[in-house]
Every structure is written in C-alpha cells, then in structure tokens.
Amino acid sequence: MPQPKRSSPSLFRVAAPLRRALGGLVVAGMVLAAGELALRMWVPEAQQPAPIDRFALADVAAGAYVHRRDSVAGDWLEEADGRVRTRPSRRPEGVATVDVTMVPEPGVHRIVALGGSTTRGVPFDHLGGGFVAELTARLSSLSDQPFEVVNLGVPGMDARGVARMAEEARQLHASTWVLYTGNNEVMGDLLDRCVRSERLLLARTLDRLLGYRLLRRQLLGAPTRPTGADAIAAQDACTGARIAEAWADGTARTGGALDPTYAAGVTQPLVRTDGAAHAVDRRLRSALDRILEAAARDGVRVVLAIPATNLTHKPGHPLAGPGRTGADAAEADRWIAQARRAPGGQALAAWTEALRVDPHRADALHGWGMARLALGGDPASAVRALRAAVDHDYAARRPTSAVRKALMDTCDRSMVTCVSLDAVLSEQARQPIVPEDWFFDHCHPSAVGTQQIGGVLAAAVVDTAVP
C-alpha cells in the first residue's frame, strides 16, 4: 500500500520570518531617514553640532599612527587633468604636498620614496629636509641623467600603510622606489589592540547623523578636540595597558634572554619568540610581498633600506620579565642603581649581576652593552646586548631582530637592491655601531646622519636606475 507523501515545508513559510525582518529594517530605515530630515529642517544650521574630526573619534587618538585609518580616510593621492596631487584632506597628517605630471618627462628617472617619518624627513621636514632631500641633491652630482624625486613618506606609517601607499604610487609611473620601513612595526602592533578600524568606521557613520550628534551633546556636552599631548598620553596609556596585560600572564617575551652564567656574563642572545613578535613578523612579510608585487607589475626597481638603528638610545620604561617576583625586580633595581654610579669594570660587574637576577630587563641589557662597549676588546658581545635591549623594549620604536630578519630575508629571496644601513654607516664611521650623534633621537637621523644616509641611498639608486 503506497505511503502518503509528506508535504515539505513551504518555501513561503520558511522565508516569511526573513521577509518580516527585512520589512522591519526597511520601515526602521524610513523612520530614521524621516526623523533625520525633520531635524535638519527644524534645527537651525547655526545650532547644529558640528561633526567631530574623523581622526579624533577614537578614545585613543589614532593621529600618531595611520595604518588603521586608510579605510576611513580614503586615498592619499588624487588624479586630475593628467596630474597627480596629494588630497587636501590628507595633508594635515604630514604627507608632503605632491603635484606632478602623471607620466614623467621623457628621459627623466622618477624616484618615489616610501616609508614613515624618517622618509618624510622628521625632524627636518618643515624645512624640506631629511635624507630624501639629501638623496635628491646627491643624485645630480652622481649622474648626468635627470632625476625627479617624489616623497610619499608619512609619519607613523608602518609597512602595511606603505603597502597601501605603494599601490597608489603606481599612478606616478616611477622607475625606482626607495623603501625605508621598519621603525613603526612594533608600535603598530600595539596600537592594533587600541585602535580598531571598524570602531572608527562605525563612529564616523553615526557622526554623520544630526540626531546622533544632538543626543551626544545632550548627554555628554560639547566635544573638545584633543591636543597633541592628550593624543600621546592616551596612546601611551592604552599601549602601556596592553603590554602590562601581556607581561602579567607571562605570554610575552619568553625568549631573548642573555645567559648570565657564561664567561663574562653575557653571550649570544636569543631572538624574541613570543606571540607578539610572530604577529609583527607575519604582517611585515605580508606587506613587503605586497609592495614587491606592486612594483613587479609595473617593472619598477626597488631599493630596500634596512633602517639605521640608534643602539645607544635607552629603552622605554623597565618591565620585569615573566615570572619575576617583586623582590627580584627590587634586587635588579639595586644592581642597576649601583652600576650607574660605578666606574668602568665595576659598572660592568654590577650590570652583569642585574642580568643574573632578570635577564629580560631591557635597561639592564642596554647598560651592560654600553659598559662593555666603553671598555672595548669585545664589541660583538656589546652589540648583541644592545640589540637584545631593543628586542626587550616595552614599546620599541626601532627595528627589532625579527623586523631586521624579515627585511633581510626579503633581500635574499627577491630581485631588489638592499642596503643595510647599520653595516654601511658603522663602517663609514669606523665604529662597532652607528655613532650617537648621527641620530636626532631614537630612530630619526641628525643632520650628519641625514647626509650619510642620503649619500648611501643615492649611490644605490644610481646603480639601480641607470643602465
């Protein structure tokens, strides 16, 4: 006897809840639009709260680092009438004013400089200086062929931001890109945990609505634009909290310690192997691949500069290593205080004792390296300690070992011209490390350093760009 067929659920009945939900959203949107229109007609324009500047929307100011804002702020460059110009809305962020023909004049080698604040020329950018200006001047003396240099460096930009800028740089039809990146990778990773692009996008979308702005003013009062000091303070507070969280649970910086029990107290340091270092490494390598792919599509040559590192610059606030007790930290502090007062070999011995207590202390690593360097005789171990101090810095604004290795690996596997500035500049100075007076601060070159870097990169550009 045939079984009766079971009726399958009606497609209409399955889709009905979805249709009702969609209808509700449409009605809500229409009501919201009608209310917004009524408010704009009813509230006089003079009484309407102005939108907050889009770069002050986050509770942590994103003004210092821009790699998370591109989805909110849009492109850096615009094309019109056969020329490429800097978008006026992006100029306040530190990018140079660009206004050039889309295609360079026949026979002219156009060079585009990509990177962060060092590329932009900090602290000399207000004078049109920096190593890019020196590079421009040197090119004319090294070659009879004409060069045109376009500076697209943006303060605070990490390699991800540079990769986005490289895509826009393709419209400039350059023959060579000079890439100087690596100083902002660690801070960029920290700020990823503080500034969320999706949060900025949501805040900007809501801020377009007059009703939202009126409600915000009623509840919170008139907004105030944060000053530069407020932005830096908020940034430091957020990144400091993220670092403290990582150290508290012992998941950060589990590698990189020097062995204080061997020989004079310090041997070859291990490279940091914690999760944060791996995240920085992955993102940097991915960004470098994107930059090189963009260059390869247009046949652009690349000069990759591995940044010069100011190893004499002291690291940030000291933090105890994972698992260290308060008593350990206090004992390390006592040895560090003694080392700073002691002369010569006694200082080195005190720094060594501090490292025996806590081999992850960045300030102790730096002190040991500087003391060992001053005594001479074994500069290699001193340099290793100074580099380990950068690796263990709580918020390194300099290239760590992982960053340098990623850049060097890119040089080894790619058809690019690479310049290791630490090696070249220290050789020029005939010192184990780049001299302190060749830097203005933790990473930006001084006037002397700018001249040296510009000269080295100009020679590399001529070798690369001129057949």
Ordered by start, the domain boundaries in the chain are 37-222+229-254+274-310+400-467, 326-391
Q: Looking at residue 214, what is its pLDDT?
A: 82
CA–CA–CA angle 309, 312, 318 (5° rounding): 100
Q: Looking at residue 301, what is its pLDDT?
A: 95
Q: In what order do the strands lie in the sheet with 109-115?
A: 147-151, 109-115, 176-180, 301-306, 417-420
The whole-angstrom separation of Cα 405 and Cα 284 is 10
Q: Taking the chain, what is the end-to-end CA distance rounded to the nearest angstrom?
A: 90
Q: Looking at residue 2, what is its pLDDT?
A: 54
Peptide bond into 123 cis (omega under 30): yes
The whole-angstrom separation of Cα 100 and Cα 352 is 56
Helix residue ranges, H only, 143-274: 159-169, 185-192, 197-207, 210-220, 228-248
The whole-angstrom separation of Cα 305 and Cα 163 is 15
Give me the CATH code for the 326-391 domain, please: 1.25.40
* 3-state DSSP assignment of residue 196: coil
Give me the CATH code for the 37-222+229-254+274-310+400-467 domain, please: 3.40.50.1110
Q: Which residues are 84's β-sheet partners?
A: 79, 100
Q: Looking at residue 134, what is its pLDDT?
A: 93
Structure tokens at 351: 């720094």
Element of type H or E holding 52: none
The whole-angstrom separation of Cα 69 and Cα 62 is 8
Cβ contact 398:389 at 8 Å: no
Extract the runs of DSSP E, i.e. beta strands, from 407-447.
417-420
Cβ contact 96:151 at 8 Å: yes
Structure tokens at 456: 């080295």
Each of the 467 residues of the chain gets a pLDDT tens digit; together they read 555 555 555 555 557 777 778 888 888 888 888 888 888 888 888 888 776 544 443 443 444 444 444 555 678 899 989 999 988 877 666 778 899 999 999 999 999 999 998 999 988 865 567 899 999 999 988 988 899 999 999 888 889 889 999 999 999 999 999 999 999 888 777 666 665 555 556 666 777 788 877 877 777 666 555 455 555 555 566 666 666 555 554 444 434 344 333 334 444 444 445 566 777 888 899 999 999 999 999 999 999 999 999 999 988 766 655 556 677 888 989 999 999 999 888 999 999 999 888 877 889 989 999 999 998 877 888 898 898 888 877 667 889 888 999 999 999 988 899 999 999 999 999 999 999 999 999 899 999 999 999 999 999 999 987 66
The whole-angstrom separation of Cα 278 and Cα 285 is 11
Comparing 37-222+229-254+274-310+400-467 with 326-391, is the CATH topology the same? no
Render the burial of 170-196: b for 16+ CB within 10 Å, e for the rest: eebbbbbbbbbbbbbbbbbbbbbbbbb
